[in-house]
Amino acid sequence: MDNIGEEYKHYWETNMFLQTQELDSWGLDEALSVYYDSSSPDGPTSPATSKNIVSERNRRKKLNERLFALRSVVPKISKMDKASIIKDAIEYIQHLHEEEKNIKAEIMELESEVLMMNPNYDFEQELPVLLKSKKKKTEQQLYDSFTPINFPIEILELRVTYMGEKTIVVNLKCNKRTNTMVKLCEVFESLKLKVITANITSFSGTLFKTIFIEVSFL
Amino acid sequence: MDNIGEEYKHYWETNMFLQTQELDSWGLDEALSVYYDSSSPDGPTSPATSKNIVSERNRRKKLNERLFALRSVVPKISKMDKASIIKDAIEYIQHLHEEEKNIKAEIMELESEVLMMNPNYDFEQELPVLLKSKKKKTEQQLYDSFTPINFPIEILELRVTYMGEKTIVVNLKCNKRTNTMVKLCEVFESLKLKVITANITSFSGTLFKTIFIEVSFL
DNA sequence: CTATACACGTGACCC
DNA sequence: TGGGTCACGTGTATA
């Protein structure tokens, strides 16, 4: 009895790291069950007890796997204790709850702010996070999500001209899509150039942008 | 031996509900340890084994309490299984992670939106959620957040002129700061106006922006 | 009757 | 050399 048990006397975490080996060593368990089956058919311990043993082993193993997985999704794990893992998970969830609460109040405030300043703003189209989550919650207690829609800049024409020794002129033509102008500005801002003057003209769905740039970088 | 054990043969959840009563019935355990101590000092099971028994009992109890607490902070608990509780907790944490990511992008967008429309807005004073969470992070390796660095638009001059019955000219002068041009563009994009032509000129740290707008909204 | 899930006592391990 | 933790086998109650 004892020598059989000693095969499994590892620390539980080491057990987790050697799961495959454990699966191999499970062959011993079948030997064990056979041992139980053939030895004593009279006692109340032989016929179904071996089944219960392997069942219980599987249950423990599954529980440990879950616990290990739980540890992996929780940052700031203080100790490797089973109890400590659960404790850390609880604290982490509570922290996320609080943060979520604050951040949702934040969003509601910001939305009303935007709505006041611009009553024609279309939240359904551009910022559907809270609305969608409310919808889903009524349908089922499930968790919400959303996907931001981003159109790329479609450049139709790009021409760079050097005027004199310190000035560059950039001529750009592209299709007008949502936020296209914003993205263009972001590109030129990120280049940290010294823009002398810029002109943007919109005509029938096309953006024309002409930029004068001083060559001397800062 | 058996009659003592029968006191504890409840389902684990019922055990949790009757914790206080269990604490009372622990008087029986002390009687148990005494029984072990006084009965057989010769066998290898008496002296330290009873200590281990009560220790192990406490450990199991603590673990179940933690598990019960974990269940209480996780909504949408499918089954009461120990393993299922941990599984639901894992899925819930993963969901919260994803939601947090999305909602933070959302807030950044809204903040810039508000900032555009009301350049003198003070995020530090009125909406310190993200900033506060960041403070916590510097103090310890705690859970993460972020802070968008946003300079407000400093408007020096704003003049709106009506030209004819369908055209508006907006003249704007403001200081040049980081992303000022981007924010200006975002403001005018969000207003969903029909911009005919726009001109931006930079001169000694000041932005001059002139915009021709057709009045007819889409 | 057979699974499934649990609490229990026990020996072994490590700090 | 204990206090703390673990895996194991077992009896038992629920579905």
Domains observed in chain A: 50-117 (4.10.280), 155-214 (3.30.70.260)
Say yes or no: Cβ of A53 under 7 A from any atom of strand D. yes
**Span A101-123, average pLDDT:** 67
Residue in chain B closest to A87 (alpha carbons) equals B66
Residue in chain A closest to B128 (alpha carbons) equals A106
Using DSSP, state whether A64 is helix, strand or coil: helix
Residues of B in Cβ contact (< 8 Å) with A197? 199-202
Asked which of A29-33, A190-194, A204-208 is least confident by mean pLDDT, the reply is A29-33
For residue B209, list its beta bridge partners. Answer: B172, B200
Q: In the prediction, which pLDDT does B67 show?
A: 93
Q: In the predicted model, is pLDDT for residue A201 greater than 60?
A: yes
CA–CA separation, B142 vs B137, rounded Å? 5
Query: Chain-wide mean pLDDT for chain A?
Result: 66
Q: In the prediction, which pLDDT does B62 show?
A: 94
Which nucleotide has the least CA–C1' distance to A14? D6
Percentage of residues in chain B with pLDDT exceeding 70? 52
Q: In the prediction, which pLDDT does B14 show?
A: 45
Query: Min CA distance, A118 vs chain B (Å)?
Result: 7
Q: In the predicted model, is pLDDT for residue B116 greater than 50?
A: yes
Q: In the prediction, which pLDDT does A166 show?
A: 75
Q: Find where tokens 């072990």 sit.
A: B36
Residue in chain B closest to A177 (alpha carbons) equals B189
Q: In the predicted model, is pLDDT for residue B4 greater than 70?
A: no
pTM for the full model?
Answer: 0.52
**What nucleotides of chain C have any atom within 7 angstroms of a protein Cβ?**
2-14
Q: Which amino acid is at B62?
A: K
Say yes or no: Cβ of B7 under 7 A from any atom of strand D. no
Residue in chain A closest to B179 (alpha carbons) equals A189
Read off the pLDDT of residues B176-189 as tens digits, 9 standing for 90 and up: 776 677 777 777 76
Q: In the prediction, which pLDDT does A71 show?
A: 92
The gap between A10 CA and C13 C1' (Å) is 8
Q: In the prediction, which pLDDT does A187 show?
A: 74
Asked which of A83-87, A97-101, B3-7, B132-136 is least confident by mean pLDDT, the reply is B3-7
Q: CB within 8 A of B101, min separation 6: which ones?
A: none
Q: In the predicted model, is pLDDT for residue B27 greater than 60?
A: no
Query: Min CA distance, A202 vs chain B (Å)?
Result: 5
CA–CA separation, B153 vs B94, rounded Å? 38
Query: Min CA distance, A103 vs chain B (Å)?
Result: 7
Query: Chain-wide mean pLDDT for chain B?
Result: 66
Say yes or no: Cβ of A185 under 7 A from any atom of strand C. no
Q: CB within 8 A of B117, min separation 6: which ones?
A: A114, A117, A118, B187, B190
Residue A170 backbone zone (phi > 0: left; psi -120 to 50: alpha; other: beta): beta
Residues 59-78 of B with CB under 7 A from strand C: 60-61, 64
The gap between B49 CA and C10 C1' (Å) is 8
Tokens for B122, please give them. 């003070």
Using DSSP, state whether B175 is helix, strand or coil: strand
Asked which of A69-78, A120-129, A136-145 is least confident by mean pLDDT, the reply is A136-145
Give, in order, the Cα–Cα distances in Å from B177 to each of A130, A198, B171, B182, B183: 32, 16, 18, 10, 10
Q: In the predicted model, is pLDDT for residue A186 greater than 50?
A: yes
Q: Find where tokens 């024309």 sit.
A: A208
Read off the pLDDT of residues B45-97 as tens digits, 9 standing for 90 and up: 466 788 889 999 999 999 999 999 999 999 888 888 899 999 999 999 999 98
Q: In the predicted model, is pLDDT for residue A192 greater than 60?
A: yes
Q: Which of A145, A99, A97 is nearest to B102 (CA)?
A: A145
B171 within 8 A of B161, measured Cβ to Cβ: yes
The gap between B61 CA and D5 C1' (Å) is 14
Of B89, B99, B181, the CB nearest to A143: B99
**Span A152-165, average pLDDT:** 74
